[in-house]
Structure 1
């Protein structure tokens, strides 16, 4: 295991730097922040609009499941995942409403059958990942759920593990708890190596809040889900010598923000991709998890705002799709380009040297000329999923965007699904359906004309 302490004086550096709040889900003492309060937001998209072309023709919304609330309490959706005919929808509510499970036997009529990870008041659950695993300790369907405090220093966050082999009756197996000074696990991923199961966690700002006691990126062995065991941690100062108090100066001398936001692996479980905000996407060889090694990274030009939020892989893992979540389209730094966050495509045949080959920007996220001309809403890209040569993007007020990446250097938008007053957080492809979680209005199901499943 690797661990280093923060440099002395990092707190003073932090207080002197730019505000921590950089993302929709940036973790602060107040938890919820003000990201949802967009003037005129309710008038963003008064009607549902669906358009489709190559690979996504004949799109049709077949279900829109409003939240009835759980135990009489309403909440927002967070991410969405699907596994073996069930949809798992995470939620964002101060009283901990956990993960809601829907039977998708009839996708036009999802039926809520259970809820879990809802037993820790004062927390919310953003991310859920479900995998079928087989180890000497557990065989079945394992769910990992991120747990974040609504307000820090109140109740411990971290990651909770459940047996969802019977989705109607989830059973709690284990909990990896972070210090109360750390908000919790933000995003996470499950992977397997033979009969070994690994949990990779992005614990945003853990390095800063714990003063180096816990790092932002941690790998745990959960072969026995009842006993999650950390086997590797990574300190950002190993890469950037100027890293201190969650900031560093890049090669151009620009003060940049750095924290682990999300993580995923390739299908082999040998490589991890950690979205580390302005530090870029970090590529680790985790074939030996205890000795994981940083082997490559993406970086940003002087005019690019950074904000590496999440990734997907395409073309057999040779193309990296990097989503950048930028909520300040009119940056105060005149050296930064204007416009909401967009997607960058990298050739990673040589993982030690990612090469930028293209980008995709929705019409609304593209740079605009005059200040104040933007329509109400937030048009930054959020999360990516890939099936074959089609990239699916959750895009908040821009709904779900669908992009042909047959030639990743020349991505072409081929379809979109923008529900009324869209506020799309997550997207997942399950068989012949697009699942989308709308923060304000619940689970959406769109039928498409081609199959496949994306993770």
Structure 2
């Protein structure tokens, strides 16, 4: 997202901002990682955004070779409860180096159904790292897929998976497009780490904040599109990926009246084949977007004629960021990325009853244990896994879906206060069959964690 200079500086963990010109600023971030970073900020159409990251990140050491149990709320110096540390690889051991590569961002996972091996796909400002975590105590960095030639490094990179292929986008990156990477290449890597090349490329968009994939239907949706191509008002640029290495344009739609510009800009979304209680939409492809100013619920079954079902805002909206459905599609859990910065006193999760998709109802504003900003959350079974920046991974029991209850945590940045801002855990991937939870932490690197058995 883009924001005010004050929020950008505060969110980066910066202590000072130096203006070199009216449209450029440098924010020092001594609290990011072990060495500190400097963010070069540029004023764009929608506020200030980070365009370059400067510094070195070599102070943290890997933790491998065996699980570190969380005892007395600590594991290897990291604050925790109910979550054990399986392994840790710092940024400089997963492809990050000096300059723009000194932090990580988004994360996803892939399980090779042929071999049973598990892999982490980890975004960085200038590329994507691939890590074999089949032996979670000794993760192995296999190599890097560099950003598209001619694009520029930037804060945001996102990756999702369909039929053994990864689809990668980057925001504010110029002419980046969608990189397609055949993940089966990871089976036979020798001489790691290696430099990979993309398998195919889709140029229907230039930059995008995120890519959403419905693995049941074989459609991808790039969202937050900008800087060229068919941007769709920042909404859903629909891509047919049923032939994984031959993506083709399938449609374009934005939920008018949502987003800061009113064009349907979507920051992130989840698209599912609907199996919830609203029988009007059974079997339809439903997408739920975090659209800056509201949640958006839409029927995208017909790619040529998507239909907006409903949208809804809420008190003290600041930036509707991302959300995830409960597995029975009855409830939706949503985070607002900058409401804590703008005065909401504790981490807030918005709980929506979406039994009737035409009329979503906000049933609870769950307040967390700290004031940290929330970023990405995912649901598996009766647990919600939240990446809440400075307070790290938070695990919530949602057996009572309208009343989440925190039952565990792992703080990836114990040296920082758990206040609002954008240092710490960016995202997590809790879907590996092994139970390993992969967590990215912006200035630190890759954490592999395991939640203990929790009685619900």
What does residue 401 of structure 1 align with? 394
CA RMSD of aligned residues (A): 3.5
The offset of 1:178, in angstroms, is 5.5
State the partner residue of 1:380: 373
1:331-359 CA-to-partner distances (Å, cap 9, x unmatched) read 4xxxxx53355211111111111111123
Q: Could you tell me which residue of structure 1 aligns to residue 303 of structure 2? A: 289
Between 167-176 and 259-268, report the one with greater CA deviation.
Answer: 167-176
**Aligned in 2, Cα 1:313/1:117: closer, same or farther, shift over 3 Å?**
farther
For the pair 1:436 / 2:448, whether they are aligned, the reply is no
- Is 1:270 the counterpart of 2:297? The answer is no
> Residue 352 of structure 1 aligns to a residue in which SS?
coil
Q: Does 1:359 align with 2:389?
A: no
Match of 1:189 among 207, 212, 218: 212
Q: TM-score, normalised by structure 2?
A: 0.70
Question: Within 2, Cα distance between the matches of 1:212 and 1:126?
Answer: 19
C-alpha contact (below 8 Å) 1:78/1:437 kept by paired residues = yes
Q: 1:172 aligns with which of 182, 189, 198?
A: 198
Any idea what SS the aligned residue of 1:167 has?
Answer: helix
CA contact (8 A) 2:33 2:443 kept: no
Q: Report the equivalent of 2:38.
A: none
Question: Is 1:80–1:427's contact at 8 Å kept on the other side of the alignment?
Answer: yes
Alignment of 1:228-239 (within 5 A): 228-236=247-255, 238-239=256-257
Aligned with 1:166: secondary structure? Answer: helix
Aligned residue in 1 for 2:277: none
Q: 1:149: Cα distance to partner?
A: 3.8
- Specify which structure has the higher proportion of strand: 2
Partner Cα distance (1:22, 1:222) in 2: 38
Candidates 215, 232, 249, aligned match of 2:233:
215
Check 1:215–1:382 CA distance in 2 against 1; reply closer, same or farther (3 A cut).
Answer: same
Shift of 1:406: 1.1
Inter-CA distance 235–410: structure 2 relative to 1 (3 Å threshold): closer
**Structure-1 separation of matches of 2:26 and 2:396:** 27
Offset from partner CA, 1:188-245 (integer Å, 9 cap, x none): 1122455xx21111125x3xx6698642121111223444333222244x336xx8xx
CA distance in 2, matches of 1:274, 1:65: 32
**How far did residue 283 of structure 1 move?**
1.1
Contact 1:310 1:323 in 2 (8 A): yes
Residue 189 of structure 1 aligns to a residue whose secondary structure is: strand
Distance 2:102 2:287 in 1: 32
- Give the alignment partner of residue 87 of structure 1, picking from 119, 128, 131: 119
| Distance in 2 (alpha carbons) for counterparts of 1:308 and 1:358 | 16
CA contact (8 A) 2:387 2:425 kept: yes
Contact kept? 1:359, 1:409, Cα under 8 Å: no
C-alpha change, 1:40 and 1:79, in structure 2 (3 Å) is closer
The higher-RCO structure (CA 8 Å, 6+ apart) is 1
Cα pair distance change 1:35/1:77, threshold 3 Å = farther
Structure 1 residues 130 and 271: alpha-carbon distance in aligned structure 2, compared to 1, 3 A threshold: same
What TM-score do you get using the length of structure 1 for normalisation? 0.71
- Contact residue 394 and residue 401 of structure 1 kept, 8 A: yes
User: Which runs of no fewer than 5 residues in structure 1 stay unpaired?
Assistant: 1-17, 53-58, 133-140, 249-256, 332-336, 366-378
Paired residue secondary structure (2:233):
coil
Q: Is the 8 A contact 1:163 1:171 kept in 2?
A: no
Aligned to 1:51: 81
Distance 1:326 1:129 in 2: 25
**Runs of 5+ consecutive residues of structure 2 not aligned to the other structure:** 13-20, 35-73, 112-116, 190-195, 275-283, 417-423
Q: Does 1:201 find its partner at 2:222?
A: yes
Work out the number of aligned pairs and report it.
365
How far off is 1:39 after superposition? 6.8
Aligned pair partner of 2:152 in 113, 122, 127: 122
Secondary structure at 1:60's aligned position in 2? strand
Rounded to whole Å, the distance in 2 between the matches of 1:213 and 1:412 is 39
Displacement of 1:101 = 0.9
Distance 1:21 1:282 in 2: 28
SS of match in other structure, 2:135: coil
Shift of 1:442: 0.8
Aligned equivalents of 1:258 and 1:19: distance in 2?
Answer: 21
